[in-house]
Chains A and B, each alone.
Chain A
Amino acid sequence: MIELLSYGAFFLTVALTYAIICLGLNVQWGQTGLFNVGVAGFVGIGAYASALLTTPDDPVRFGGFGLPIIVGWLGAMASAGLLSLLVGLLTIRLRADYLAIATFGVAVVVQLCALNLEPLTGGPFGIGFIPRPFGWLAEDRMTFSLLNLSIVVVTTLGVYLALERLLRSPWGRVLRAIREDEQAALALGKNAFAFRLQAFVIGGAIMGLAGAVQAHFIGFIAPENYVPMLTFQVWAMLIVGGSGNNRGAVLGAVLVWAVWAASAALISAVVPPEAQARAAALQIVMIGVAICVMLLVRPRGILGEVRTVSRHVNEVSGKK
């Protein structure tokens, strides 16, 4: 019973860190229509930034500044946001798919830097001893995992509420207006480029935050955590859950992660060890097929986008 509860807490914590990444992607894609194929790069930057700021001093590499975890998380948002700003400034004015190609490149380069800038990132061995929230309680596993879960729940909820507020604000309305009809939005005097750039930076910063939350939960990061597979998983989560809908993003993350974890458990239980690498490839085929089928059959996802004009409209008309 305790085992099950403890696994449940662990599962939900991991799933919710994906949910935060999904929420960030939803600002970029769901609300604004910006296609980011380099999610792993932005998550990775956040994780490394926070690890550098918060780990104890390490003589073999730069830093380890031993700062509080919250500073690390803010640093993660700032660095991923800055990266998004640079990529956005470069590509958002150009053809829509140039952003996709450029972000694809960003992910490749971030992974390459993590691997090769050994004095900064620890190279292929990564960074360990990342302080974990409530680390002093690690002896009592149940309390520890529940406290960690509650931190991730609070963070997810905070991001969710902030985004809901933002997207129902005039700012969010302009974003959707630009996505639906750029000419009309331009004619109304809205600077489409600036709004898109802001959305891209906010989404990127949230991904960085998610990377930091993940890193502090696991306590260890390495370049192979931030491979393109992560990007694919997050996309599948958002498309399955329903792009444009924040609750859909969270639901999709939990659902896809559950299917992923269950199929991984099934493979390791049923398939003989020598065939497991092949079976894992089939698992990835499943993610790819899920993306294509959802696009063909139900492009709006499980929970589609809810049309909102303004929260004041309902208040005036007397409806809840």
Chain B
Amino acid sequence: MILQPLMDGLIAGTMIGLGAIGITLTYSILRFANFAHGELISWGAYAALGVSSALATAYGPLATPIGPFSFGWSLPIGLLTSMVLTGLLALLVDLLLFGRLRARKSAVIILVMAGFGAALTLRSLLEFLVTSKPAYFTSALQIAIRLAPGLRATPDQLLSLAVSAVLVLAVHLLLTRTAIGRAMRAVSENQQLAALAGVDVRHTIRIVWLLGAALAAVAGVMAGLLVQIRPHMGHDLLLPLFAAAILGGIGSVPGAMLGGLIVGLTEALSVQFIGAEWRAAVAFVILVAVLLLRPQGLFGRPA
């Protein structure tokens, strides 16, 4: 009885975790809580949907399901394109808005507020373009595989778990083992000192946006594949994303993923034992508990 909610929670948790990694990176390196991050998830999902359906219309065989999965090659291609497109969108917003405010040395809270305005603009623009009707990557039905007594998962769900695990490991290695990762950590420690030591701060910030947006696009495509695509999907994920990032400790990639898993599992268990109508409150309760007991998060350092 308990196994199935755990599986559902695990899958929801990895989606939250991928989004939370983007939040935690921009938070620790650009130093502000980006309320527009949820919109990158929605735009990423719709970009992938657009590219994938265009490909499928242009060349039918691309839509034929691959092996046990519900989608054809058009979706992976659409996802990769969308990761780039979402990255470009993030860079555009930075160029128009955040970059200018940074250049002016605006207070952190002004950046937060600008993100809030950008989120509203992006979300409603998307709603204008695609209407609020839900969309799906595929209409194919999938039979869930029985993994153990009382535990079922579809091939799509298992693939999503595997892809997330690989991505988390890749981002962790990128941050800890490469030159650009070192540059990111340096900028997050102290921007001026990093610049003095020869780190190209503007280049580093661009990479952070690209990375965070690409992960947001993956999270959006996963959410679209496993649930559905709506213009408000990113906004609805925002509170769980922040709860996960703060629970994990701002700046910690493994922490964000672990935080996402904890939030996802708690949500699934509360749906099972309390009722689905209170699901949206779970992230808030976790957030309050973290702020009360351990404001620096699991892997964070005290401020």
Residues in A lying within 8 Å of B, measured CB to CB: 33, 35, 37, 90-91, 94-98, 100-102, 104-106, 108-109, 112, 115-116, 228, 232, 235, 239, 277-278, 281-285, 287-292, 295-296, 299
Query: In the docked arrangement, what's the CA distance between A88 and B287, Å?
Result: 14
Contact B303 A284 (CB under 8 A): no
- In the complex formed, the residue of B with least CB distance to A101 is B242
Q: Which of B108, B112, B127, B287 contacts A281 (CB 8 A)?
A: B127
CB atoms of A105 and B113 under 8 A apart: no
Least CB distance from A176 to B in Å reads: 14
Bitwise, B153-175 to A at CB < 8 A (1) or not (0) is 00000000000000000000000
| Main SS at interface, chain A | helix
Judging by beta carbons under 8 Å apart, are B120 and A295 in contact?
no
Main secondary structure of the interface of B (DSSP, over half): helix
Taking A108-B281, A281-B128 as contacts, is the C-beta distance between A100 and B33 under 8 angstroms? Answer: yes
- Whether B121 lies near A288 (C-beta < 8 A) is yes
With CB as the reference atom, state the residue of chain B lying closest to A283: B124
Q: Are B246 and A35 in contact (CB under 8 A)?
A: no
Interface mask (B1-38 → A, CB under 8 Å = 1, otherwise 0):
00000000000000000000000000000001101000
Segment 36-66 of B: residues with Cβ below 8 Å from A: none
A235 contacts across to B, CB distance below 8 A: 113, 116
Interface size class of B (residues with CB under 8 A): 35 or more
B69 in the interface (beta carbon within 8 A):
no
> What are 28 A-B residue pairs whose CB atoms fall within 8 Å in the complex?
A35-B112, A94-B303, A96-B109, A97-B112, A100-B35, A100-B109, A108-B281, A109-B281, A112-B277, A112-B280, A116-B277, A228-B235, A235-B113, A235-B116, A239-B113, A277-B131, A278-B127, A284-B120, A285-B121, A287-B120, A288-B120, A288-B121, A291-B113, A292-B117, A292-B118, A292-B121, A295-B110, A299-B110
Is B254 in the interface zone, CB < 8 Å from A?
A: no
Pairs of residues from A and B, 7 with the lowest C-beta to C-beta distance, nearest first: A288-B121, A291-B117, A288-B120, A284-B124, A105-B284, A97-B33, A281-B128
Distance, CA A212 to CA B292, complexed state (A): 31
Assess the A90–B112 pair: CB atoms within 8 A: no
Q: 17 additional contacts, CB 8 Å, given A96-B108, A289-B121, A292-B117?
A: A37-B116, A98-B291, A100-B33, A102-B287, A104-B35, A105-B284, A108-B284, A112-B280, A112-B281, A232-B120, A278-B131, A282-B124, A288-B121, A288-B124, A292-B121, A295-B117, A296-B101
List residues 263-296 of chain B with CB under 8 A from any CB of chain A.
Answer: 277-278, 280-281, 283-284, 287-288, 291-292, 295
Q: A291 and B116: CB pair below 8 A? A: yes
Instruction: Judge if B238 is at the interface, Cβ distance under 8 Å.
Output: yes
Q: Which of B120-170 contact A (CB under 8 A)?
A: 120-125, 127-128, 131-132
Contacts of B33 in A (CB 8 A): 97, 100-101
Please tell me if B84 contacts chain A, counting CB pairs below 8 Å: no
Q: Is the CB of A105 within 8 A of B35?
A: no
User: Per a CB cutoff under 8 Å, which of A35, A284, A291 touches B109?
Assistant: A35
The reply to whether B35 and A37 form a contact with Cβ atoms under 8 Å apart is yes
Which residues of the partner chain B approach A232 to less than 8 Å between Cβ atoms?
116, 120
The answer to whether B128 and A282 touch across the interface, beta carbons within 8 angstroms, is yes
**Chain A residues, Cβ within 8 Å of B77:** none
* Shortest beta-carbon distance from A231 to chain B in Å: 9
